[in-house]
Structures are given as structure tokens and as C-alpha cells.
Amino acid sequence: MLADLGYWGLAQVDFVHTQHGHVLLDVNPRFYRCLPLAIACGTNLPALWHAVTVGRPVGAPRRYRTGVTYRWLEADFVAAARGIPHRLLARAPQPHAGAAWAAGDPVPGFLLGAWAVTDRLLRLTGLRRRGR
């Protein structure tokens, strides 16, 4: 489908299974926020994408680690803004990965979370409209 549209590269696709079969929900033809989950599960998609792009062999797929959970810090900040602050303090089940939080470098995760809360508050007050 993507090749027919002229796209070549890594893309994340979301499907949902319905009574009529699988339905495509979303296509992300870019590095996406939950990419650290694939890496934590043993598949370094950015490195594989780079190898394909420069013509290097990628080898056979490795075993994909299951059971890794994903923590979306931005959603936890939004939950806190909605009155569920304990989500920020809850520890993610192990093993886990996250979109933008690293204990050794917390600033990017904090800024992303602060943006999420600010954006939500601006939309709730009508100062910012969704999609802008």
C-alpha cells in the first residue's frame, strides 16, 4: 500500500481486529514515540533502517522479546492534570521502555510532559484549538 503511494522506508502501522477483519487505523512513516519499545524488545529499527538505506545487509530477524511494557510519560502528565496524580508516581512494571524519559537525562521527558499539560490546559480554556 505504501509503496503504491511512492513511500519507501520505515513505517509503524496500527490495526484493530473487528468482526469484519483487520482495519487500518494509523500509519506513521517517521520515527514514532513508541520506537523505544521495539528497541527494548531487541529490534533496533533505526539501525536496521539505516543499514537498508546504505545498502548493508541486515541479517535474519532476531527473537523479539515479549512482556516489555511501555510507559508514555506524556499521558501520565495528562492524567495528573485530569486529577489522577498517582499515575506520575506509579512505577512501570519491569521490564519497561518509555518514549522520552531516561533517569540519566530527565530534561527531555520533563519538557515533553510539561508541553502536554500546557497544551491540554490551553485547549480546556479555549486558548488553543485541537490540531493547531
**Domain identity same for 53 and 90:** no
**Domain identity same for 54 and 77:** no
Report how far apart the first and last C-alpha atoms of the chain are (Å, whole number): 29
**Domain identity same for 77 and 89:** yes
**Domain identity same for 132 and 71:** yes
Contact by Cβ (8 Å): 117, 77? yes
**What DSSP string describes 7-50?**
--S--EEEEEEETTEEEEEEEE-S--TTHHHHHHTT--HHHHHH
Mean local confidence (pLDDT), 10-35: 87
**Domain identity same for 93 and 105:** yes
Instruction: Name which residue leads in pLDDT, 26 or 126.
Output: 26
Rounded Cα distance between 21 and 19, Å, is: 6
Question: Which residue matches cell numbers 537525562?
Answer: 105
In the predicted structure, residue 19 carries a pLDDT above the cut 90: yes
Mean local confidence (pLDDT), 40-55: 89
Q: Is residue 1 part of a domain?
A: no
Q: Is residue 107 part of a domain?
A: yes
- What does the mean pLDDT of the chain come to? 83
**Domain identity same for 82 and 56:** no
**Domain identity same for 58 and 94:** no
**Domain identity same for 109 and 50:** no
In the predicted structure, residue 130 carries a pLDDT above the cut 60: no
Provide the domain limits for residue 59: 10-33+44-65
Q: What is the pLDDT of residues 28-37, one digit of tens each?
A: 888 777 888 8
